[in-house]
Amino acid sequence: MQPARSGADDPPTRLPLVPAEVRWDDLHLSYRAHTRLTRLYQRPADLSGLPIAQLLHINGFGEKSVTDVIEAVAACTPPAPPAQPLPAAEMERAQRQTMRLARALQRSPLSAQLGSDDVRFGARIRSLSPEAKDAGEMADRLIAGAASGDPLQIRDGLKNLLRNLRAARKMCVEDELSQMLTSVRYQGHHPVKAQFLGYASRSSRPPADTTRNRQVTARILGWDGLGGCTLQMAGDEFGLTRERVRQICQAALDQLRGRAFVPIVDAALALGAQHTDQPAAAVEAHLQNRGLTKGLFRLEGILQAADVFERIPAFQIQTVGGCRFVTGHATDRLVKSVLRFARTTVRGAGPLTLSDLCARFSAETGQTISENGARRILETSLDFRWLDDAAGWFWFPALPLSAVPNRIRKVLSVAPRISVTELRAAIFRARRIKGFTAPAAVLLEMCRQLPWCRVDETHVESAIPLNPAEELWPVERALWQILLWHGGALSREKIKSLWRAQGRNERSISPLLTTSPLVRRYAPAFYCIAGLQPPPPAPRVPAQKPAPPRVRVAPLPRTPKPTLCLGFGRPDDRRIWIGFKLSAGMIHTGSFTFPPPLRGLLSGTFPLLDPDGARAGQFVVKQPKGWGLIPLFSRRGTAPGDCLVLLFDLTALNVTTHLGNEDLVVQYAGKPF
């Protein structure tokens, strides 16, 4: 049945011709219209020439559904065929141009990415080759001559497709996503052309604002560059309810969701994956510098686009300490784990270096992180402070119950002014510190950042009065009072006797003398209050029988050579220990010479471990030398005068390192030296 002819000014009374290749999904009808029509008609082509008045008789069809069908069918109507046949020469030239354009599209890597169901370009592909699944298959059919139709229309359509593809690759993210939203047809919200109104022109309903709907969708998904928002926030901004906002977004997502051709979004996702472990603001600025975005476009919108267009992003956004951070999926909780581990370690051990943090974190969690990645993560924390940026020393001054500041307060409560060298030695004595602390320059910078400290070139003093009764533990206060009442310095035996006289447990005084920051050992078996400089004790000379007089020539005076090896021994059959006082040369070279009695017992390569069991490097023994301590010294921060104890395990074939002061060697030797 042919549609009736009508005048130029009269509205049409029948639906136009619908191509046979058009599918129901291509019409994007509302749910009501789609359900009613698919029950009555097998395919959209059956609607060709259907009287419009007949649609009104369909059960459940109203003006809104009829208007939707009229507009959808009109959008799929092919252009009118040429009035006159083309000359043979022009047709041959059009076919040659079509073949050249098809081969160019066939060679393009985009041909397999551009499917026939693409939101922007799918209709053009189906108009050129209805059976093709993607642009590559369409090009193959055109080259094989399987396409039927007007050669001029095929050439022009293919030319426009390639032109639009080239333009799509030169867009920015904002324009690409805006173009995707423009292709969305919001059901019941399209103005109807005047020639199709006819009966519907009498409707008093104003046309819906499609621009507003696109803005609402972009606001929710973050495609406006602001990162997205909740339904309530968008409703308050546009004067809509949450449910209406949800309906608008759902209508857009139903049409957009799928494997669409979005090369700029793909480029932004690839760039974000290359810059993980960085602040999101830095990555967004990098996107703008590369020309992928016009302005600072928040990455949350790009991740939403990846979800809509069925991409799997290689990164995600985490907020840590109020700062947005780009992390990879392999490091899902890396940022929070690194910050939590760094805070815990600084609270117990004091300032750290980046290299030491990375090594300890890897040994503790099994995850690997670079120093640059750790630096970027730490700088996102609001309470993070650098002590020496070049060497990588840092700390968190706002941590409660931090070991090093607490020990500094204790020392300054009994010695209001003390040299940084003695203060560092007092911190070294802590068992909780486990034998490592910052160099003197780093410790001075740390004290400068403490509000209750005042620092000059070589000394630290308290800026406020510190009461020992409030800062010290009861046992520490008792030890300090014993030393204070007896001139500030006593021998170990005298301290023990006075401790027993107060009715205290004798077993508690030895560890207190070893680990308390309030006292220091200024001579073998003699202790004084920190910061005090007592005279050396008088040497005990044993009684000797008078020797017969002998005439001897006095030797020339010689400068005594400093002893670097403080002792060695074997606690059992499988372990050997050796203690050194570090010199500047030993710290610089990371090597030393073994004592002669040990030169035949050790040889080979040993893993170098810290007191926690984390690997700190590799130690090589080739008698009489041993080397490989430089990584340990650079991580832990050492100074000339510190003591190093190496514990060789002959069964496990490893070396455990311990850094401290001379008390550390006394613990291994079992007696003062």
pLDDT for 325: 82
Host domain of residue 453: 403-529
Phi/psi of residue 646, nearest 5 degrees:
-105, 125
If DSSP codes are grouped into helix, strand and coil, which group holds residue 120?
Answer: coil
**Are 368 and 472 within one domain?**
no
pLDDT for 544: 58
Of all residues in the chain, the percent with pLDDT exceeding 90 is 18
If DSSP codes are grouped into helix, strand and coil, which group holds residue 625?
Answer: strand
pLDDT for 449: 92
Q: Which residues contact 218 (CB under 8 A, 6 or more apart)?
A: 177, 178, 181, 224
**Are 140 and 97 within one domain?**
yes
Nearest to 286 by CA among 239, 241, 326: 326
Phi/psi of residue 581, nearest 5 degrees:
-100, 120
Choose the final residue of a domain: 123, 142, 169.
Answer: 169
Supply the DSSP string of 67-111, one letter for each residue. HHHHHHHHHTPPPPPPSSPPPHHHHHHHHHHHHHHHHHHHHSTTT
pLDDT band at 461 (very low <50, low <70, confident <90, very high): very high
Per-residue pLDDT averaged across 192-212, rounded? 47
pLDDT band at 197 (very low <50, low <70, confident <90, very high): very low
pLDDT for 554: 52
Mean pLDDT of the chain: 81
In a domain, 356, yes or no: yes
In a domain, 188, yes or no: no
**Are 407 and 516 within one domain?**
yes
pLDDT band at 204 (very low <50, low <70, confident <90, very high): very low
- Indicate if the pLDDT at residue 205 is higher than 60: no
**Are 571 and 465 within one domain?**
no
pLDDT for 585: 86
**Are 523 and 410 within one domain?**
yes
In a domain, 288, yes or no: no
Range picked from 172-186, 222-236, 506-520, 524-538 for highest mean pLDDT: 222-236
**Are 119 and 136 within one domain?**
yes
Of 668 and 631, more confident:
631
Per-residue pLDDT averaged across 14-25, rounded? 83
**Are 410 and 378 within one domain?**
no
pLDDT for 120: 83
Range picked from 107-116, 148-157, 397-406 for highest mean pLDDT: 397-406
- Indicate if the pLDDT at residue 194 is higher than 50: no
**Are 346 and 412 within one domain?**
no
pLDDT for 3: 39
Range picked from 112-126, 431-445, 648-662 for highest mean pLDDT: 648-662
In a domain, 102, yes or no: yes
Per-residue pLDDT averaged across 314-340, rounded? 76
What's the burial of 490, exposed, middle or buried (CB within 10 Å: 0-12/13-18/19+)? Answer: buried
Least confident stretch, 188-202, 321-335, 371-385, 512-526: 188-202
Of 210 and 161, more confident:
161
Side-by-side strand order, sheet with 489-491? 489-491, 526-529, 519-523
Residues 535, 450: contact at Cβ < 8 Å?
no
**Are 417 and 390 within one domain?**
no
pLDDT for 542: 58
- Indicate if the pLDDT at residue 16 is higher than 80: yes
Q: Would you state the structure tokens that stand for residue 278, as one six-digit string? A: 């960085």
pLDDT band at 265 (very low <50, low <70, confident <90, very high): very high
Q: Would you state the structure tokens that stand for residue 621, as one six-digit string? A: 């023994």
What is the rounded distance in angstroms from the CA atom of residue 188 to the CA atom of residue 208? Answer: 8
For residue 381, give the CATH number of its domain: 1.10.10
What is the rounded distance in angstroms from the CA atom of residue 343 to the CA atom of residue 348? Answer: 9
Of all residues in the chain, the percent with pLDDT exceeding 70 is 86
Q: How many domains does the chain have?
A: 4
In a domain, 410, yes or no: yes
What is the rounded distance in angstroms from the CA atom of residue 360 to the CA atom of residue 383? Answer: 21
Residue type, 489: A
Least confident stretch, 109-113, 253-257, 655-659: 109-113
pLDDT band at 564 (very low <50, low <70, confident <90, very high): confident
Least confident stretch, 185-189, 263-267, 564-568: 185-189
- Rg of the chain over Cα atoms, rounded to whole angstroms, equals 41
pLDDT for 289: 92
**Are 360 and 466 within one domain?**
no
pLDDT for 193: 38
Residues 654, 606: contact at Cβ < 8 Å?
yes
In a domain, 449, yes or no: yes
In a domain, 163, yes or no: yes
Choose the final residue of a domain: 133, 154, 169.
Answer: 169
Model confidence over 213-235: pLDDT tens digits? 999 999 999 999 998 999 999 99
- Indicate if the pLDDT at residue 241 is higher than 60: yes
pLDDT for 543: 54
Choose the final residue of a domain: 344, 365, 395.
Answer: 395
What is the rounded distance in angstroms from the CA atom of residue 441 to the CA atom of residue 421? Answer: 10
Supply the DSSP string of 113-155, one letter for each residue. T-BTT-TTTHHHHHHH-TT-SBHHHHHHHHHHT---S-HHHHH
pLDDT band at 672 (very low <50, low <70, confident <90, very high): very low
- Indicate if the pLDDT at residue 1 is higher than 50: no
In a domain, 258, yes or no: no
Nearest to 602 by CA among 590, 581, 619: 619
pLDDT for 460: 93
pLDDT for 550: 56
Model confidence over 97-151: pLDDT tens digits? 888 888 888 887 777 778 888 888 888 888 888 888 888 888 888 888 766 677 7
**Are 452 and 523 within one domain?**
yes
pLDDT band at 191 (very low <50, low <70, confident <90, very high): very low
Per-residue pLDDT averaged across 623-645, rounded? 84
Per-residue pLDDT averaged across 593-599, rounded? 83
Residues 386, 394: contact at Cβ < 8 Å?
yes
**Are 492 and 590 within one domain?**
no
Q: Within its chain, how far is the Cα of 211 from the centroid?
A: 37
DSSP state of 539: P
Phi/psi of residue 549, nearest 5 degrees:
-65, 135
Of 383 and 85, more confident:
383
Per-residue pLDDT averaged across 647-667, rounded? 83
- Indicate if the pLDDT at residue 640 is higher than 90: no
For residue 597, give the CATH number of its domain: 2.40.330.10
Q: Would you state the structure tokens that stand for residue 451, as one six-digit string? A: 């509000």
- Indicate if the pLDDT at residue 2 is higher than 60: no
Per-residue pLDDT averaged across 293-316, rounded? 89
What is the rounded distance in angstroms from the CA atom of residue 364 to the CA atom of residue 612? Answer: 9
What is the rounded distance in angstroms from the CA atom of residue 224 to the CA atom of residue 235? Answer: 16
> Global pTM?
0.54
Model confidence over 537-546: pLDDT tens digits? 766 655 555 5
In sequence order, what are the beta bridge partners of 238?
none
